[in-house]
Amino acid sequence: MKKILLLGAGRSASTLIDYLLKLVQERHWHLSIGDADPELAALKGNGIARSFEFDVENNAHLSKEIAQADVVISMMPARFHQLVAVACLKHGKHLVTASYVTPEMRDLEQEVKKKGLIFLNECGLDPGIDHMSAMRVIDRIRGNNYELIGFESFTGGLLAPNTNDNPWQYKFTWNPRNVVLAGQGYVKFIQEGKYKYIPYQRLFRRTEVIHIPGYGYFEGYANRDSLKYLDVYNLRGIRTLYRGTLRRPGFCKAWDVFVQLGATDDSYQMENVAAMTHREFINSFLFYNPNDSVELKLAHYLNLDMESEEMYKIKWLGMFSDEPVGLQEGTPAQILEHILKKKWTLTEEDHDMIVMWHKFNYLDEQGREIEEHATMVSIGEDSVHTAMSKSVGLPLGIATRLILEGRISTPGVHIPISKEIYEPVLAELKELGFDFIEEKMQPGDKVK
């Protein structure tokens, strides 16, 4: 009997658990679910899986549970994956995660290979489906002996189009902290053979406009480091390499208000947070003038019209209200995140949407330039079975099954960029409704 151990049963694991429950029933396998909240683990296990209270920092318990499994899926916060990986290596167990490969994880490569194990990382949505769908097209282009000269890729987790009462057309569908801190540090990419760099304070003013047939226009801002994919995808010598995040038009200009204020700074603790209101939070970044309103000071400071779309969006969030923040302490970024959760948390009526879009430019055997797009759109079922939960969880579940069946068998620390992994995973995802529309663009058809 094959034994699967899932560590972490939070909202993002909902669809994954549903997939695994169906799998173990069909195959007569065994699933164990551990979580810090034993009641949540039991609820998600639905009487089919064994559930238990789990503390990843309890080494003895971690070791005991992993020793009983054949494959371990870690849905723990990313900082804990290494603890799980070391225990999997010790007991000779396969590991699957949706998180980025860290240098520490990569350092385990030789020992993982020596033991014939598979440590598959970055097997969710982004990273995950983005790798697989991109490499499928890139491998096909190379297989035809064409020259790939440009690759751009954008992914966004947004609200579905039928949500009309939110001027941002956005709510949190994944880790809110990552949204608040997005783009901090440095941004770098290649455009027409030139290396380009964008400082954080200019990032949300440098956007791309992208049209998705049937869903309208989106704007994209650059991810932090597109250049790391030069080696991941073997793209050295490519003329354009750009990866970014999608939002609806107008989002970036409004979000830039928080960036310019310093409200996304996570480097210091603010004072007197327990007594702070939303309005006082915004006012704390503005100059002192007892005769002007916070709204007027903000508009003057950032050269905004009082009736502008940006001011409307900020007001809709309740930033000018006298509602208490509701925290005892925090950095500006933590306080902003806490305020945003009040309006940007999914309700039972909300449906989220995942949009992924790739653009490939290549030269055929006659030197003619061809542009090809690959697009995937998915709409969530409800606030639990979200598009985000499905697109992160299903690749993890499928890959786990393929490992147990021996269909993914090459040992090592991997991400899903080889045909052995991406072909069967994408094939099943298509059956489950995650299909990419691939189309070649004719001259004059380019919309971006």
Contacts of 49 (CB under 8 A, 6+ apart): 6, 17, 20, 21, 24, 31, 32, 33
β-strands 207-212, 216-222: how paired? antiparallel
Chain mean pLDDT for the chain: 94
Question: How confident is the model over 332-363, as pLDDT tens digits?
Answer: 999 999 999 999 998 888 899 999 999 999 99
Say what percent of the chain tops pLDDT 90.
90
Could you tell me if residue 68 is inside a domain?
yes
In a domain, 132, yes or no: no
Average pLDDT over residues 44-56: 95
Return the pLDDT at 165. 80
Does residue 65 fall inside a structural domain? yes
The DSSP secondary structure of 343-409, one letter per residue, reads: HHB--TT--EEEEEEEEEEEE-TTS-EEEEEEEEEEE-SSSSS-HHHHHHHHHHHHHHHHHHTTSS-
Is 236 part of any domain? no
177 falls within a domain: no
Domain count, the chain: 1
Residues for the chain: how many in total? 448
57 within domain boundaries: yes
Please, are residues 407 and 424 in contact by the beta-carbon 8 Å criterion?
yes
pLDDT, tens digit (0-9, with 9 covering 90-100), for 286-307: 999 989 999 999 999 999 999 9
Report the percentage of the chain scoring pLDDT > 70: 98
Domain extent, residue 69, equals: 3-121
Encoded tokens for 17: 């658990």
Across 216-254, b (16+ Cβ under 10 Å) vs e yields: eebbbbbbbebeebeeebebeebbbbbbbbbbbebbbbb
Give residue 447's pLDDT band: very low, low, confident or very high (50, 70, 90): very low
- Region 8-14 average pLDDT: 89
> How far is residue 278's CA from residue 336's CA, in Å, rounded to a whole number?
9
Q: Quick one: which H or E segment has residue 154?
A: strand 147-159
In a domain, residue 80? The reply is: yes
pTM of the full predicted structure? 0.92
pLDDT at 442: 58
**197 in a domain, yes or no?**
no
Structure confidence by residue, pLDDT tens digits, 101-140: 999 999 999 999 999 999 999 999 999 999 999 999 999 9
pLDDT of residue 203 exceeding 80: yes
How far, in whole angstroms, is CA 275 from its chain's centroid?
Answer: 34
